[in-house]
Amino acid sequence: MQHFPLFADLHGRTVLVVGAGVVADRKISLLLSAGAQVVVGAHAAHPQVQARALAGQIELRLAPFDPAWLDEAWLVIAATNDRALNQRIAQAAQARRLFCNVVDDAALSSAQVPAIVDRAPLTIAISSGGSAPVIARRLRERIETLLEPALGPLASLARHKRQAIRQARPQLRARRAFYDWLMDGPVLGALRRGQHQEAEAALDQALAQDTQAPVGKVLLVGAGPGDPGLLTLRGLRALNEADVILSDRLVSPEVLALARRDAQVLDVGKAIGGPHEDTQARIHALMVHHARQGRCVVRLKGGDPLVFGRGGEELQYLQRHGIAYEVVPGITAALACGAYAGIPLTHRDHAQSLTLATAHRRASTTKSIVLSPVTRNHPVAPDSSLDTIEEVTTTGDGHTRVYYMGIGRLPSLCQQLLNDGLTATTPCAIVENGSRSNQRVLHATLQTLATQAQAQAIASPALIIVGEVSRLGAQLHWFGQTLGLKTLDLQPPQQQLDNQPYSLQA
């Protein structure tokens, strides 16, 4: 081992920092958060460091380095930009048998400051022994994403209850099982929701029982549209917690690759020979079966689990069967496809409202979510029924319509929109495999969309965007392949923007 890791209690202990620039200030801030008494010595100080001195957070000595400063210190940090001076500081520390860290200079340092993941009182420190701090920092980022913030409060609670746990579980094995349960069970869940009293009550109740029966649960998780970078941190943690993953057809292999290696992955998206209702019933049964075995079940769905994904039905089923659940939202296809096709779904000049709809049924009976402000263009009363909203929005301008599951019904969907009064030249786009490496975006008009899509063999998963904003994708696209630009009138839409440069000095 090149360096011995050691966690130092700096509360009330003096630490000397020599140097008072920006780099020094970062170390000062870290030391203060660990409760150290910080003495800073430098011939000049950055305003931020001066402000700390004025606020009484630190003691600032504006003078040339004096080895006598080390007399009261437990630890020394040299953070000047003068290597000869840093060397003198390191030597003075060595003479007094004090550990000294010289920032970014492993050769002069007798102690390293690691990269830190702070879940106080849990602390994770990573060091590359000064050989490659960047690697340590990258590793820190990855660990940071994996460890949820609720671990800090959990560790505090465990510390508070340590004696009680020892008494109630005198055998080491039973105690270990209890701590395992703490990490996986409802206590962490309650802390995650910020319910500290409930967490403590759940812990006390579990301690009063003889053994820890594992409590199963279902996490309904949105996997996003495909690009694994669009998975949420909470979603990633769920995948690392899972014993069983029930995965949808739409979930990309790259997202599944992030799951815990020994999680059992069941692909429940493929038709199993029977009708769709059979597949759904099987999913319901699998969720309940595995949760009742005490497992953590992740029900993983493409996009967001509660947007056109039957997630609501699954939650109702779980609730009826008394299974605990949590929901982790995901980036729904409309948001991802808009972003990755350079199509702003709303725009001050072109669209003030947005419909997310499924084209799964006939367009005239389209089920939709309308996100629409009450504006002059759209005088929609808050209590209007969906039908009324559809009526208003399909005739007006300034509206973006996004259709899920529409590829198989494209001709009838376009015809329906024409019948509803949209003009044949209304710009449209289809985003196929949105956010994935094989993304294609087809631009057309309402009149040409169906034939163009057939000519280009556009296939599911694909999303249809109808409205003026889709024209902007011809200008703003930045990802994947773009088709059919020639068929569009590429005159940029009327800009109402002021093109005068904005002076930041003003």
Catalytic residue annotation: 248, 270
Residues 204-243 that bind ligand SAH (CB under 6 A): 225-226
Cα(29)–Cα(392) distance, rounded to whole angstroms? 57
Nearer to ligand SAH, 438 or 499 (CB): 438
Tell me the two tokens of residue 398. 């300034």
Nearer to ligand SAH, 191 or 251 (CB): 251
Question: Would you count residue 427 as binding ligand SAH (CB under 6 A)?
Answer: no
Which region among 92-100, 206-214, 305-313, 483-491 touches ligand SAH (by CB under 6 A)? 305-313
Question: Would you count residue 405 as binding ligand SAH (CB under 6 A)?
Answer: yes
Which region among 56-64, 151-159, 167-175, 299-307 touches ligand SAH (by CB under 6 A)? 299-307
- Peptide bond preceding 461 in cis form (omega within 30 of 0): yes
Question: Would you count residue 263 as binding ligand SAH (CB under 6 A)?
Answer: no
Phi/psi at 181 (5° precision): -60, -40
Q: How far is the CB of 263 from ligand SAH (least distance, A)?
A: 21
Phi/psi at 60 (5° precision): -110, 125
> Which residues, 6 or more positions from 335, have their beta carbon under 8 angstroms from its beta carbon?
345
Cα(221)–Cα(202) distance, rounded to whole angstroms? 25
> Which residues, 6 or more positions from 112, have their beta carbon under 8 angstroms from its beta carbon?
3, 101, 106, 127, 129, 130
Q: How far is the CB of 301 from ligand SAH (least distance, A)?
A: 6
Question: Would you count residue 434 as binding ligand SAH (CB under 6 A)?
Answer: yes
Which of 42, 337, 472, 483 lies at the binding interface for ligand SAH (CB under 6 A)?
337
Nearer to ligand SAH, 446 or 463 (CB): 463
* Residues listed for the chain: 506
Cα(486)–Cα(282) distance, rounded to whole angstroms? 47
Q: Residue with the closest Cβ to ligand SAH?
A: 303
Question: Would you count residue 394 as binding ligand SAH (CB under 6 A)?
Answer: no
Question: Would you count residue 283 as binding ligand SAH (CB under 6 A)?
Answer: no
Question: Would you count residue 299 as binding ligand SAH (CB under 6 A)?
Answer: no
425 by Cβ neighbours in 10 Å (0-12 / 13-18 / 19+) ranks as exposed
Which of 327, 404, 422, 446 lies at the binding interface for ligand SAH (CB under 6 A)?
404
Phi/psi at 196 (5° precision): -70, -40
Q: How far is the CB of 435 from ligand SAH (least distance, A)?
A: 6
Nearer to ligand SAH, 98 or 223 (CB): 223
Looking at residue 44, its amino acid is A
Which of 231, 250, 469, 474 lies at the binding interface for ligand SAH (CB under 6 A)?
250
Residue entry with tokens 């815990």 = 260
Residues 316-335 that bind ligand SAH (CB under 6 A): 332-333
Q: How far is the CB of 133 from ligand SAH (least distance, A)?
A: 38
238 by Cβ neighbours in 10 Å (0-12 / 13-18 / 19+) ranks as buried
Which region among 103-111, 179-187, 302-310, 483-491 touches ligand SAH (by CB under 6 A)? 302-310
Strand residue runs (E) in 256-315? 264-267, 296-301
Residue entry with tokens 């301008």 = 397
Cα(355)–Cα(403) distance, rounded to whole angstroms? 8
Cα(174)–Cα(190) distance, rounded to whole angstroms? 23
Q: Which residues face 356 on adjacent strands?
A: 369, 402
Which of 442, 462, 465, 469 lies at the binding interface for ligand SAH (CB under 6 A)?
462
Question: Would you count residue 363 as binding ligand SAH (CB under 6 A)?
Answer: no
Binding mask 143-172 for ligand SAH (x = CB under 6 A): ------------------------------
* CB-based contact 329:305 (threshold 8 Å): yes
Which of 49, 431, 446, 474 lies at the binding interface for ligand SAH (CB under 6 A)?
431
Nearer to ligand SAH, 74 or 479 (CB): 479
Question: Could you tell me which of 201, 116, 191 has the C-alpha nearest to residue 153?
Answer: 191
Residues 442-461 that bind ligand SAH (CB under 6 A): 460-461
- Peptide bond preceding 121 in cis form (omega within 30 of 0): yes
Nearer to ligand SAH, 177 or 371 (CB): 371
Cα(384)–Cα(393) distance, rounded to whole angstroms? 12
Nearer to ligand SAH, 226 or 467 (CB): 226
Looking at residue 181, its amino acid is W
Residues that bind ligand SAH (CB under 6 A): 225-226, 250, 301-304, 307-309, 332-333, 337, 404-405, 431, 433-436, 460-463
